[in-house]
Amino acid sequence: DVQLLESGGGLVQPGGSLRLSCAASGLVFTNYGMSWVRQAPGKGLEWVSVISGGGDSTFYAGSVKGRFTISRDNSKNTLYLQMNSLRAEDTAVYYCAKGEGGSGYSSMNVWGQGTTVTVSS
């Protein structure tokens, strides 16, 4: 079974930084695009970023572009999200999700349990 396990969430002050990780198992990691999706408390789902299987293509939502960086280490089967200049509105549960193809232009068929990021002073 494919499993995704996020870590790295926590409480951070506005303007601070945090790096999320997502450890994947049970798959040939490099074959799949991976995404980050977040959900603010009591709100709907918001797509954040996607990276292709090889790591050569990355895309971002406008709300995080220039502040967040997605990356992956295929030798470690791990996805990352570096979050800088954090704002209160970035407070959310962050999910990593596996795409159904290598490009990232696909639905997301496996999701982690999520890690909570709280931005507050």
Partner 1 sequence: DIVMTQSPDSLAVSLGERATINCKSSQSVLYSSNNKNYLGWYQQKPGQPPKLLIYWASTRESGVPDRFSGSGSGTDFTLTISSLQAEDVAVYYCQQYYSIPFTFGPGTKVDIK
Q: CB 75 → partner 1: shortest distance, Å?
A: 26
Instruction: Give yes or no for residue 5 binding partner 1 (CB under 8 A).
Output: no
Instruction: Give yes or no for residue 41 binding partner 1 (CB under 8 A).
Output: no
Q: CB 111 → partner 1: shortest distance, Å?
A: 4
Which region among 20-28, 67-75, 78-86, 107-115 touches partner 1 (by CB under 8 A)?
Answer: 107-115
Place of tokens 């408390």: 41
Instruction: Give yes or no for residue 105 binding partner 1 (CB under 8 A).
Output: yes
Q: Give the span between the Cα atoms of 49 and 80, in whole angstroms.
A: 11
Cα dihedral sign for 38, 96, 70, 50? Answer: negative
Instruction: Give yes or no for residue 87 binding partner 1 (CB under 8 A).
Output: no
Single-letter code of the amino acid located at 68: F
Report residue 81 CA to chain centroid gap: 5
Residues 6+ apart with CB under 8 A from 48: 35, 36, 37, 38, 60, 61, 64, 68, 81, 94
Maximum alpha-carbon separation in the chain? 41
Instruction: Give yes or no for residue 9 binding partner 1 (CB under 8 A).
Output: no
Q: CB 52 → partner 1: shortest distance, Å?
A: 12
Number of residues that bind partner 1 (CB under 8 A): 23
Q: Where does this chain bind partner 1 (CB under 8 A)?
A: 35, 37, 44-47, 50, 59-62, 95, 97, 100, 105-109, 111-114
